[in-house]
């Protein structure tokens, strides 16, 4: 069974731009979560989607948003990028019946 | 949410057993304890999960005392490839919060 895939793997943007990251969960997994990882703050939870609905949300500004499609694929959008948004963005999927998350390789975003 | 506390870093040698302890003083009755491993530039990988006493799989063992306020991840006979960051987390009401993790460095 294929793992969680994320595209693109690397991205360079400039301040003020917006970016969309994509995540394809493991087949059969309907829950998708997004995390931001930085050296200073570690792994921080952004939000979780299940069956196209946002179920949980972390403490991030409204510039960070996401959505999930009927095939469980998810996208995350960051608008008006700031230098501090440079991070590894990780997506994870899981079966509804468990809390074990399976992570993708991440998207490395650099904001210049 | 149950907050977890674990050592920032640890060093050990190849072939040794490594024990990483995590404290979670306000763990709730229904919470499970889960450990993940993360290598640089990769997503975390599930290692083991437990509720009480002892759980063992092909990778590690997890020891949880009766009060469940702490847990210990045990890695038998570590190798250089076990150098990674290890996260202890408690899942509460479907909320998964990662702590800072323990950076384990295995020396030859």
Of the partner residues A33, A99, A101, the one whose CB lies closest to the CB of residue B32: A99
Torsion of CA B47, A29, A46, B37, to 10 degrees: 10
CA atoms within 13 A on the CB side of A34: 31
Tens digits of residue pLDDT in B33-76: 999 999 988 899 999 999 999 999 999 999 999 999 999 999 99
Which one has a higher pLDDT value, B77 or A40?
B77
Alpha carbon B31 to its chain's center: 15
Q: Return all residues near B8 (Cβ < 8 A) that are at least 6 apart.
A: B100, B102, B103
Q: Which residue of B has its CA nearest to A4?
A: B43
Contact assessment for residue A67 and residue A75, using Cβ atoms and an 8 Å cutoff: yes
In this model, does residue B95 exceed pLDDT 80? no
Which one has a higher pLDDT value, A73 or A42?
A73
Tell me the nearest-neighbour CA distance from B41 into chain A, angstroms. Answer: 7
Q: Which residue of A has its CA nearest to B85?
A: A42
Encoding tokens for residue A94?
Answer: 């899981």
Residue B10 in contact with partner chain A when CB distance is under 8 A = no
């Amino acid at each position: 069974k294929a793992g969680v895939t994320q595209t693109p793997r690397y991205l360079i943007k400039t301040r003020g731009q917006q970016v969309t990251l994509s995540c394809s969960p493991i087949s059969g997994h309907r829950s998708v979560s997004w995390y931001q990882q930085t050296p200073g703050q570690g792994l921080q939870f952004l939000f979780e989607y299940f069956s196209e609905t946002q179920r949980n949300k972390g403490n991030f500004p409204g510039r960070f948003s996401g959505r999930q499609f009927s095939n469980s694929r998810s996208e995350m959008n960051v608008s008006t990028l700031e230098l501090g948004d440079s991070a590894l963005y990780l997506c994870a999927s899981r079966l509804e019946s468990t809390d074990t998350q399976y992570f993708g390789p991440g998207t490395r975003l650099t904001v210049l | 949410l149950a907050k977890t506390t674990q050592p920032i870093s640890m060093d050990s040698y190849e072939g040794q057993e490594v024990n990483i302890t995590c404290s979670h003083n306000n763990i709730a009755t229904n919470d499970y304890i889960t450990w993940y491993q993360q290598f640089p530039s990769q997503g975390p990988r599930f290692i083991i999960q437990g509720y009480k006493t002892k759980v063992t799989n092909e990778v590690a063992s997890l020891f949880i005392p009766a009060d469940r306020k702490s847990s210990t991840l045990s890695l038998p006979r570590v190798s250089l490839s076990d150098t990674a960051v290890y996260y202890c987390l408690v899942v509460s009401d479907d909320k998964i919060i990662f702590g800072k993790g323990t950076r384990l460095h295995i020396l030859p």
